[in-house]
Structure 1
């Protein structure tokens, strides 16, 4: 069945499912009602079976053509999602799911938020892209919001989190050259100053070659070695180990996630981040916070590092910023921005008016203090609900997190639980070594949806954790 035809049939099937509704309505008279209901029930059953066939064919074709035409770098279940609303999604068969992954912490406002949709539609009908060769108002309006709400003085736009981190690496390298009094455009001075970038075990900074060098999983890096030289990795939360490698004239920057996402929902301590700040100041190195996953409200504060009272020199953002449209950003202090000149870095698509206008709307919604208080409240409800639902299960070691980023540490691989939960209509993902269940729902998730998620995960854990 052709995909277009199947899509049309699925639309018909959706309306056919409503044919069963009149069975509950009052018939014209009580004598005819039983007969009417029997006829309608039979017709509805036939149409639902027909709809199921449409959905089966549609799903099969999409999956087969995905395998035929798309590079196979993802292992995906044979599910085709067709629509969503808030924290819920539906597949081609009409099955409903609670989305506690939010596109890996991207869909902060959930699916189909009317305010976001209005912003995207409005800007798409006016001006979507002109490149960074010219000025546009949405780009400036978003930058003003980001700067005035943070430690930063300037913003650089990218398209993704890994691109934002790549930009921060470049900025740090040039800053070190200028700080050392070298001509940054003289290739002969390339190694005469600090060039090393320090990161930590459990970190995830992206999959491009520079960001990849700062990421902890060997399986991500080994096939593509050599990655960017000059990277040093030390144990997360080990300040003494960090002190042993962060050195003046050697270290250009230190990259750290205030709360590790991919690494296992591991919050840093205030002592650790304050210690890194002091070490970087002593070494004339830049402190870079990667808030690609935890920035913009995910933790219950606008920026994740606000929990610790420590400010960086640069911070990378991406995932939730435009509510599902691709965007990345580096927020930076003036002393870093001052070393960059026109032509030093750029991007064709980054900061286009369409994505920036959408991001302004997302920012305005999330930055509201009442909204952030709701994230904190719902995060506490999620963790307490999970602890209650999983209480007594010997394979559950810990429930941890901040706001609406939550991890359930198991003593075994989490894949079977994630699969079983998906079969029951709850979408969660893994983290760490694959032994952690990660929950990052839309920030608009309801308390009722949280309670349902906890209940189902508790039931599934009893069934699959052995």
Structure 2
């Protein structure tokens, strides 16, 4: 580095001198400044103009390796060829369709989702987001049981709307979030906590593997204790697998680890194939909750169950559950782990295609995420001292090695630097 060059955190006015600055400012003005300001603070006025495979491209054509994947929505990579073909072909025959009129396309996706379950028979309702799916599940439980109590696990994230926000850990909501309709029982992830679930509780909502702040699998004994207690008091057990399901944490469904079946299951993100917003809420029709078995929610969603979305999701499920593909996905994860492990050692944790790296402090992790952006690698901005990675399942060998080199270099730089780099604008 010559004397005229500076590290990215030492540059002033860097963003204003880069292509795309005016686009970023217009986005901040017209859409959401909270998304733009951290990037401007880093001197990176990014504006996504395209995507393909493991990469997104900014307005200047620069490729960025995507290890965010929208929290897992792009599990099959960006613009997966088979999913694109399915959507284009479908658009030649159908449109969104009317949610109130039956369609074989919805039946086909329902069968694919039911066939992928380790046990039980299922009926499915379709919606457009995980938040909406969790909202539907919680509302159905409340109406079926005629109870108002809810219970949720500490550290859970279930969405930003109504009941879904009510059961989300408050740490993950905006500080000025409005008062919520219900204050749930907050359960520690310990089997002894199941005793707090009583006859006032309509539903307990659980992510079998939490992926918001770190990789936190809930122990099989805990899930079994929650299942037993729900059966005892007549509460509905809901598994939120919007992020951890469809292969992200290893098995097709994260709850397979614990051999515990829910009464309701919510899925999304990867279900969309990265192309069309689709989420699903499943009701187990041979389960033990008698109130739920007698109830069917009159769910209405103009865009839920879009016929185009059904085609996309059916193709996504076919790819995500195919055994040959799943072996290839595991191999991709093995490649990334092997490339990272020699340098990161015990800092590195993996569960399926979810990775995390522990750092000394939140500032440490935040610096690494910021530095990686300058190295052309997109990762989630950390919430604590752990950096999460959600690579596409289709990550290639050379892409894994490229990602690992960048991550190790950023981590080494963070280790070598003195603390005190201003970062308030990055939060």
Whether the TM-score (by the shorter chain) exceeds 0.5 is yes
Q: 1:388 to 1:153 in 2, by over 3 A?
A: same
Say whether 1:369 aligns with 2:323: yes
Deviations 1:136-180 (A, max 9, x none): 221111011111221441001111000000001011112212xxx
Say whether 1:66 aligns with 2:27: yes
Write out the 4+ residue segments of structure 1 that deviate beyond 4 Å after TM superposition: none
- Distance in 1 of aligned mates of 2:65 and 2:353: 15
Say whether 1:217 aligns with 2:186: no
Deviation at 1:340, TM superposition (A): 3.2
Say whether 1:340 aligns with 2:295: yes
Secondary structure of the structure 1 residue equivalent to 2:159: coil
**Contact (CA 8 Å) 1:298, 1:375: kept in 2 or not?**
no
Say whether 1:142 aligns with 2:109: yes
Q: Which residue of 1 aligns with 2:64?
A: 97
- Distance in 1 of aligned mates of 2:318 and 2:59: 34
Q: Which residue of 2 aligns with 1:108?
A: 75
Q: 1:384 to 1:283 in 2, by over 3 A?
A: farther
Q: Which residue of 2 aligns with 1:387?
A: 341
Matched ranges for 1:313-352 at <5 A:
313-324=263-274, 325-334=276-285, 338-341=293-296, 344-352=298-306
Deviation at 1:457, TM superposition (A): 0.7
Deviation at 1:63, TM superposition (A): 1.0
Unpaired segments ≥5 residues, structure 1: 1-54, 178-193, 392-396
- Distance in 2 of aligned mates of 1:283 and 1:337: 13
Please identify the structure whose Cα radius of gyration is greater.
1
Q: Which residue of 1 aligns with 2:424?
A: none
Deviations 1:47-106 (A, max 9, x none): xxxxxxxx955x123212212211445345211122222112222222222111112210
Matched ranges for 1:239-278 at <5 A:
239-243=191-195, 245-247=196-198, 249-278=199-228
Secondary structure of the structure 1 residue equivalent to 2:165: helix
- Distance in 1 of aligned mates of 2:344 and 2:78: 29
Q: 1:284 to 1:337 in 2, by over 3 A?
A: closer
Secondary structure of the structure 2 residue equivalent to 1:320: helix
Matched ranges for 1:20-419 at <5 A:
56-57=18-19, 59-75=20-36, 77=39, 78-150=45-117, 151-177=120-146, 194-218=147-171, 220=173, 222-235=175-188, 237-243=189-195, 245-247=196-198, 249-324=199-274, 325-334=276-285, 338-341=293-296, 344-391=298-345, 398-413=347-362, 414-419=365-370
TM-score normalized by structure 2?
0.85
Q: 1:268 to 1:430 in 2, by over 3 A?
A: farther
**Contact (CA 8 Å) 1:389, 1:457: kept in 2 or not?**
no
Q: 1:378 to 1:288 in 2, by over 3 A?
A: same
Secondary structure of the structure 2 residue equivalent to 1:110: coil
Deviation at 1:453, TM superposition (A): 1.3
For the aligned residue pairs, the C-alpha RMSD in angstroms reads 2.0
Deviation at 1:385, TM superposition (A): 3.2
Q: Which residue of 2 aligns with 1:42?
A: none
Secondary structure of the structure 1 residue equivalent to 2:192: helix
**Contact (CA 8 Å) 1:139, 1:351: kept in 2 or not?**
yes
Q: Which residue of 2 aligns with 1:49?
A: none
**Contact (CA 8 Å) 1:152, 1:331: kept in 2 or not?**
no
Q: 1:84 to 1:221 in 2, by over 3 A?
A: closer
Secondary structure of the structure 2 residue equivalent to 1:83: strand
Deviations 1:102-154 (A, max 9, x none): 12210111112111111111112221222212122211110111112214410
- Distance in 1 of aligned mates of 2:209 and 2:174: 22
TM-score normalized by structure 1?
0.78
Deviation at 1:219, TM superposition (A): 5.7
Secondary structure of the structure 2 residue equivalent to 1:61: helix
Deviations 1:372-399 (A, max 9, x none): 22323333443343332224xxxxx632
Q: 1:301 to 1:208 in 2, by over 3 A?
A: same
- Distance in 1 of aligned mates of 2:292 and 2:203: 15
- Distance in 2 of aligned mates of 1:270 and 1:219: 25
Deviation at 1:272, TM superposition (A): 1.5
- Distance in 1 of aligned mates of 2:121 and 2:152: 22
Unpaired segments ≥5 residues, structure 2: 1-16, 40-44, 418-427
Deviation at 1:201, TM superposition (A): 1.3
Secondary structure of the structure 2 residue equivalent to 1:212: helix
- Distance in 2 of aligned mates of 1:400 and 1:228: 37
**Contact (CA 8 Å) 1:164, 1:316: kept in 2 or not?**
yes
Deviation at 1:259, TM superposition (A): 0.7
- Distance in 2 of aligned mates of 1:285 and 1:121: 43
**Contact (CA 8 Å) 1:300, 1:402: kept in 2 or not?**
yes
Q: 1:447 to 1:199 in 2, by over 3 A?
A: same
Secondary structure of the structure 1 residue equivalent to 2:270: coil
Q: How many residues align?
A: 385
